[in-house]
Structure 1
Amino acid sequence: MFSEFKNHINSNLPFLKKAKVLLAVSGGVDSIVLAYLCKFLGLDFAMAHCNFKLRGDESDNDEKYVFALAQKLNVEGFFQAFDTLNYAQENSLSTQMAARELRYNWFNDLSQQLEFDYILTAHHADDNLETFLINLSRGTGLEGLVGIPEINGNIVRPLLPFSRADIERYAVKECLGWREDASNASVKYLRNKIRHEVVPVLKGINPQLLQNFTKTITYLKESQSIVDDRLDEVLDIVVDSVDENCISFNIKELKKLSNTKAYLYQLLKAYNFTEWDDVYSLLDAQSGKQVFSTTHRLLKDRELLLLVDLSEESKDKILINNIEEQLEIENKMLSFSRVDEIDNNSQFSVFIDSDNIEFPLTLRKWQEGDYFFPFGMKGKKKLSKYFKDEKMSLVEKENVWLLCDASDAIVWLVGKRMDNRFRVKKTSKNILNITLR
C-alpha cells in the first residue's frame, strides 16, 4: 500500500510534500496507518489527539497510545481533553456533533497559532460510502451525493481512495498496532448501523460495490462541475447588484429560467435556508415579505429578491459625547472637526452650526414617523416619503443611519442629506464639519 499511497501523493497531492501538516490521530487503525505512511514518505507533520472523555479508561488509554506513537515516530504531539457531554448539553447538540465541533475548532486553532498549512484526517473509501448512504437516506441534492471531498479548504484526506480492508491489511502486514473503539461496534448511531447492517448486504449483492461506488462518485462530481459552470452563467444574468450588505436578484430574470425553483435552491443553498417552498413563494409575494435562515434573510422588494447577511445588521444606538470621537460605520469613518469657514455641503461632508446642536449626539437607524427638513428645501418631509422619492430599496432604507442631536432632531441622513435647521448662517460663529470617508 505504501507505493500506492506515495503515487497518490505525488500525482494528486504533491503540495503536501513541501507543507507543514497537522495529522489528526484517534488511535484507530486508519489514523495509525496514515501516521506511519506520512513518516515513511518524509512529510513534515505533527500529531493531534482529542480525548472526548466519553469512554472512561478506554479514552485515556487511547491518549496514552497516541502519545507513545508520537515519541516512537519522533514527531511533535498535541493532546486535548474535552468535557464533551457538558458542551453538547450547553449547545443543544448530539454527542457526535459536539465532538466533531470541538475537534475541528481545536484543529483550526492549532493550525492558526502554529502555522500548519493543512490538517490531515484519515477518512477512507468506506467512510465515503457511508456518508453517501446517510445523505441518501435523509434526502439530499446533488451536493450530498458527491461524497466527502478529498480537499476542503485546509482539510486534506489522503486515504480517501483506499478501503478499510486495504488499510487493515497493510497494518497487519507491517505489524502495526492500533486501538479499537468499542463504540464502533454499536448500532446505536446511524453511521454504525449502515456500516454493520446495510453495507455488508450491499457488498453481498455486489462484491465490487466499493469500486463501482468510486466510479459513481467520479461521474457525480463531473455532473456537479457542469451544474457549477451553468450557475456561473446564470449568476451573471440574475444578479442585479452586489454590495457589502446585500445581493439583489432580478425576479423577472429568475422566472425566465427553465426550473426556477431548482435554480433558486442552487443559488441560495449556501445561505442555510430550509423552507424552500416559502423561498419560492417570495417571487409572487407582496413587497416586504421575507424568509429567514439562521444567518440570512431573503426579502421581496418590488422586482427584486434581496439577500441580506444578518450578521451585518445592527439596530443599536451609538452615543457621541464630543467632537473628538471618530466612529466606524460599515467600513467607513465618521469624523468631526471644527473649521473657520465652510465649503459646499455634499453627500459625505456637511457643515453645521454647532451652536444649534446639543450633545450627546445619537447615531441610529430610521423609524416609522421620522421626519426632517431637507437642506435646500422649505418645510419638513417624512423620511418614508423621501426614501420613496429617491427610489430607495427596502434594504437601502434599513441601512440609512441618522445623526440626531440630544432632542432627537435629525441633523444628517448620513451619506445622503443634511437637515436645513442646522445649516450654517452668516451669523454662525462655531462651525462643525462632519465627514464620512
Structure 2
Amino acid sequence: MDLLSRFLNFNDENQLFEKNERILLAVSGGKDSVLMTHLFAKAGYSFGIAHCNFKLRGESSEMDEALVFNLARQLNVPFYATSFDTEEIARERKMSIEMAARELRYQWFEDLRQQHQYDYVALAHHQNDAIETMLLNLTRGTGIAGLHGILPKRDRFIRPLLFLIREEVEAAIDKWKLTYRDDESNFSTKYTRNKIRLEIIPKLKEINPSLEKTFIENAERFEELNELLKTYTTTLREKLFIARDVNSYTISMEKLQQLHPVRTLLYELFRPFNFTSDVLDDLLSVWTKKNQSGKYFNSVTHSLVMSRKDLILEPLMDQPLQELIPLTPGEQKKFGNFIISAQNSQVEKVEHTFDKIQVDEEELVFPLQIRHWREGDWFKPLGMKGKKKLSDFFISLKIPVTDKMRVPVVVNGNGDVIWVAPYRIDDRYKITDKTKKVVTLECIKWK
C-alpha cells in the first residue's frame, strides 16, 4: 500500500476528522511537518499552515519561517506566523525552554484555530516521537495514562503521522524530493528529549531491533488498560463522591481506606482535580491518625479538607476571605453566597433559627459588621444561659470545616456576635415584651 493510502486509512481508522472539515497544520519546516503538509495537499483536504518562531536560533529561525511561508504560497493555502521571546518567557515562568515553547505553541495553535474556525490542529508526531514520550514520562514519573505515549486524537489536536516511523518519513522525503530544514538544536543532548532520542533509544534498539513495533503494541495495551481503569474509577467516583452542591463533594475516608490497591485508585480518583501523587501520599500518611480534622491538601485547582470521618472536596476559593462589611438599616450587602439585609420594621413574631430574625434596636451599635468566623468567637445561643464558642457550635450542628468559613457572622458595633446566619441569634439581642423598636435581619442564599 502506498504512503498516501496508508495516510488516508489511518485517518479513517482513527476517525481523526471528516473530509469536509478544515485543519490547521503546525509546520516547523522540518521533515515531519513538511511531509505531513504534502500528504494533506495530495489528499485534497482543506487546510492552513501555522508556524511558530521561538527566536532561539538566530538567523536559522528566520530561514525556517521563510521556508514554511514559501511552502504555503506554493500550495496556495493560508499562512499564519508568530514569534516568541522564548528564553525570556521561560525565565519569567521559571520553567525549562522546552516546556515554555510547548505551552506557547499549544496555546497559540488553539487560539488560532478558534479565531479562524478550523476544526482541528494537526501535529506531525510519528511513532518514534511516541516512544520518546513514553520513555520521558517513565523517567519523570507517570500513571498508566503516561504509558500510552501520544494518542492519535486528543481534544482538538490530531496526529495523522503516527502510523510512520522516522525511517519511513526520511524515505518519503527523499522519494518526493521535498525541501525541508533541519533544526540543529535537535542534535544537541542538552535537551532531555534529544538525549533520549540520540543516546537511549539506540542502546535499546541494540537489545530489540524492532523497538518501534514493540513500543507501539505496548502503547495500545496500555491505552486499553487505561480505558478500563477510567471506566472503573468513573463508576467508583460516582459511588463515593456525594455531591454537597454543584462543585463540591463529601467522601467517606473509611470507604476510601477499604480500596485496594488504595494508592493507585486514590490517584486515579482525584486525578481530574489535579492532585499530584506527592500530595495524595501526604494524605495517606495522616488519614488514619486522630485529631486531623481541619487538615487540608491542595492541588492547583481544588482543596481536600479532612472533616471528622469525611473528606470535603471543593474548588479553591477564587477570592480571599472577606472582612468587616459594614451594615446599617436600609442596606443589603453581598457576603460570599449570601445577601444580608437590615431593615427598621414593626415588631412581629419571627422564627429565629432560620433566614430572618428580629433584634432589639436599642441594643445595637451601628454600623453592624458582617465577617467570617474567627478563632475565639463566642455567643449566647437563643435559649441558652451560658455562652458557647462558635467552633463548638459548628461542631454541634455538624457543619463541615470547609463550610464554617463561609458562614456569615453578624457582629454588633461593640464586638458582640448578634447572629450566626442563618443558624442562630444571640439570646441577648432577642426581642422582649419591653422592646419598642426592632431591626429585621435577613439572610438569603443567592447562588
RMSD across aligned C-alpha pairs, in angstroms?
Answer: 3.1
Rounded to whole Å, the distance in 1 between the matches of 2:407 and 2:9 is 58
Rounded to whole Å, the distance in 2 between the matches of 1:75 and 1:407 is 73
Q: Partner residue of 2:311?
A: 305
Q: Partner residue of 2:322?
A: 316
Q: Is the 8 A contact 1:348 1:436 kept in 2?
A: no
1:267: how far off?
1.9
Rounded to whole Å, the distance in 2 between the matches of 1:301 and 1:431 is 34
Deviations 1:135-178 (Å, cap 9, x if unpaired)?
A: 22334332221111222222222222222222222232222211
Rounded to whole Å, the distance in 1 between the matches of 2:423 and 2:121 is 48
Q: Is the 8 A contact 1:373 1:420 kept in 2?
A: yes
Rounded to whole Å, the distance in 1 between the matches of 2:238 and 2:389 is 37
Q: Is the 8 A contact 1:373 1:379 kept in 2?
A: yes
Query: 3-state SS of the aligned residue for 1:258?
Result: coil
1:29-428 equivalence runs, <5 A:
29-244=31-246, 246-270=248-272, 271-275=274-278, 276-286=280-290, 287-288=292-293, 289-312=295-318, 314-317=320-323, 319=325, 327=334, 329=336, 332=337, 334=339, 336=341, 344=350, 349-352=355-358, 362-374=369-381, 380-404=387-411, 406-419=413-426, 427-428=436-437
1:66: how far off?
1.8
Rounded to whole Å, the distance in 2 between the matches of 1:186 and 1:161 is 26
Rounded to whole Å, the distance in 1 between the matches of 2:208 and 2:226 is 26
1:94: how far off?
0.9
State percent identity of aligned pairs: 36
Q: Is the 8 A contact 1:283 1:305 kept in 2?
A: no
Rounded to whole Å, the distance in 2 between the matches of 1:236 and 1:383 is 34
Cα distance, 1:328–1:291 mapped onto 2, change above 3 Å: closer
Q: Which segment is superposed worse, 300-309 or 402-411?
A: 402-411
Instruction: Tell me if 1:435 matches 2:444.
Output: yes
Rounded to whole Å, the distance in 1 between the matches of 2:415 and 2:50 is 57
1:387: how far off?
0.7
Rounded to whole Å, the distance in 2 between the matches of 1:114 and 1:407 is 61
Q: Partner residue of 1:5?
A: 7
Cα distance, 1:106–1:326 mapped onto 2, change above 3 Å: farther
Query: 3-state SS of the aligned residue for 2:218?
Result: helix
1:406: how far off?
4.9
1:130: how far off?
0.6
Q: Is the 8 A contact 1:53 1:83 kept in 2?
A: yes
Deviations 1:382-425 (Å, cap 9, x if unpaired)?
A: 21121111012222223323344555544543443445566677
> Residue type matched to 2:7 in 1?
F
Rounded to whole Å, the distance in 1 between the matches of 2:181 and 2:409 is 63
Q: Is the 8 A contact 1:245 1:312 kept in 2?
A: no
Cα distance, 1:132–1:428 mapped onto 2, change above 3 Å: same
Q: Which segment is superposed worse, 362-371 or 402-411?
A: 402-411
Q: Is the 8 A contact 2:31 2:173 kept in 1?
A: yes
Cα distance, 1:57–1:424 mapped onto 2, change above 3 Å: farther
1:181: how far off?
0.3
Q: Which segment is superposed worse, 234-243 or 208-217?
A: 234-243
Cα distance, 1:152–1:324 mapped onto 2, change above 3 Å: farther
Q: Which segment is superposed worse, 197-206 or 352-361?
A: 352-361
User: TM-score, normalization: structure 1?
Assistant: 0.87
1:253: how far off?
1.5
Query: 3-state SS of the aligned residue for 1:284?
Result: coil
1:99: how far off?
1.1
Rounded to whole Å, the distance in 2 between the matches of 1:22 and 1:122 is 12
Q: Is the 8 A contact 1:347 1:415 kept in 2?
A: yes
Q: Is the 8 A contact 1:47 1:75 kept in 2?
A: yes
The runs of 5 or more residues in structure 1 that have no matched partner are none
Q: Is the 8 A contact 1:31 1:121 kept in 2?
A: yes
Rounded to whole Å, the distance in 2 between the matches of 1:221 and 1:198 is 24
Rounded to whole Å, the distance in 2 between the matches of 1:174 and 1:347 is 81
Rounded to whole Å, the distance in 2 between the matches of 1:406 and 1:291 is 36
User: TM-score, normalization: structure 2?
Assistant: 0.85
Q: Which segment is superposed worse, 232-241 or 338-347?
A: 338-347
Deviations 1:101-157 (Å, cap 9, x if unpaired)?
A: 222222233334444432221121111001111222334332221111222222222
Query: 3-state SS of the aligned residue for 2:19?
Result: helix
